[in-house]
Structure 1
Amino acid sequence: MNQRTFERLKPYFVRSARPKDRVTCCCHYHIEARSLFSKTMEFRKKYTIPNILDFEQNVYPIYEHLTDIAVATLCDKDQVNNSYSKACLDRECSKCGLSLLKFTDEELNVSDDAPNVSWERYEYITVNSKKKLTLVRKCTKPGEMFNYFIELLDKFAGHQFRAQWQNAQLKCLKENLLQNHCIIIHDYSENYGCKEKFELQQTYFQRTEVSIHVSVIYRHAILEVDGVESLPDIPCIITEHFLCNKPG
């Protein structure tokens, strides 16, 4: 099976990574936070802003990016290191935190009079006696959606910073890769059950399971292989991807 065919078989709740996702990460935590951010700002724009006075709009702004609302809960960056304090990211600073964000009573309303809102979150669902993390669509009152979003924001700033820091370190390693050295990133996901296109009775109790192994290799270009030579003064880094489906 080639990679393109494999990607077409992904479950509906697995979202494709965008170029800017690779600057941070495309884990379920980021996907969930982005989805909730979009829904909460959509609700604020539709229901909150029309019902408040003009001077209150600065108290309940419509943030353009998820990073903007995360930054609003932190102290200013350290001028020397150009980074946020670890105490702020770990929510140990008494001067910042989620208390800096303001929400209206309508946004936190969980009564029957509140409008229903549709949103998504990841939950573990039992399928064939196994728990699987699945993106589940919810239809609740806005208060439940906003409260869950606030819960996510508690750790999102630290998670975002660590993802950006790791990406920066990888970029630095690639830019300073020594000759005759390479960088290998390996990840895997295991115990995927296989299904036959045509069910056979004798294979009913012998379901094959596979583990998906993905490796990314960064190496210097080799003249005989790549047609160009990577030199110390003019480095040329080649990226290779390997996908392996291994029976469990």
Structure 2
Amino acid sequence: MFILLLMNNSVHYCFSYQRRKHEGKITYVKSDELSERERNNLRNKWKAASRGYRERKKMEKAMLDLTPQSIENTLPDPAGVEAVEGQQESPGGGVVVDAPPQNEDFHPQMSSTPEREDREKKAEKRFKRLQAEKHELRKLNIHLRKQLAKMRKEKERARKSEMRAKERLRHIERGKPKGGKKLAKERKLAVVSFLTRDENSRLLPGKKDTITKNKIKEQRRILTKPLTELHVLDNSEMKKSLHLSYRQFARRRPFYVTEPKAKDRDTCACRDHENVHLLANKLYSRGLLKTKSISELLVMIVCDPKNKDCMDRVCAKCCFEEVEFPETESSSEVTWEQWKRVTSTNGERMFGNMVKQIYNGTIKELMELFSQKLESLAIHQFNWLHQAEQFR
């Protein structure tokens, strides 16, 4: 009865709404015409109406699910009523009803639906499946534990075997003669011999140009090239067993071989070398050269810097080689410096002094001047190195 009442109310509400809408009693107002507050109130009202509608639908569905398949099964049986009326009354005034026989199964009628039975069957199947999966996972877990224990044993066995092998190797190495100290001493002597050459360092002649370390007094020598360049040159000349890294090379440098200082320049330097240095520094600062080292620049234009024909620029293979410059605007102006001998007079006496002068020109003129100076410096460099080698 309650279900029918709910359904009647829903149908009545639906038809009532449609009728009022058809009669024009329900006015439609656009949301743009309402204020923000009115829109919020109307929206909340709609939400409440929708919520109530959903609740009613849920209640109707729940009541239908609990309804027996046939209402006739719940109606009383006329024969049963007559039988009850014909029974004797108890002394207390109640009706005595015979109990069902003890040997018969009593199955009361269940008020369930097919949907509920299906859900129960599905739940039972799912429970059985989960139990089977749980059993399989337990078996897999046991198997993996056994495999892990086996792997740990093998790893421990391999570690012990490796330790025994290392111990045997350590005992074998202890019996071998050690040659590390001898090689270190040989490397030290090779670095000292290389840095004390006249082409790599210059001996200072002054009486005060000495240095003392650990009560050992030595005459100072100053490097003629940067230490990085000397390191590369040393590795190229020495055999492979005496090759050193730059850090080891600098560590083995003698304490009396130092970098040049401004006060160490008591005499004039070579004009040819200094002029090429000035030009190379200018080109390097403008990004036209990759290095400022004269030795590396000479290697670019000769086959072998130790070959006299190559350094004299008469070699058939490299006599026309020049330093390659990157493409640039050759017409831009640039200034550079050069040492030049200037003669001055003081009465009847004449003096010749070296003066650094500034020149102006284009990039093209600077590159041409550098190529000429470098080519003329090649034979000068070869003669200087050859003389230093002969006086060792």
TM, length-normalised to structure 2: 0.29
TM, length-normalised to structure 1: 0.44
Structure of higher RCO (CA pairs closer than 8 Å, 6+ residues apart): 1
Larger helix fraction of residues:
2
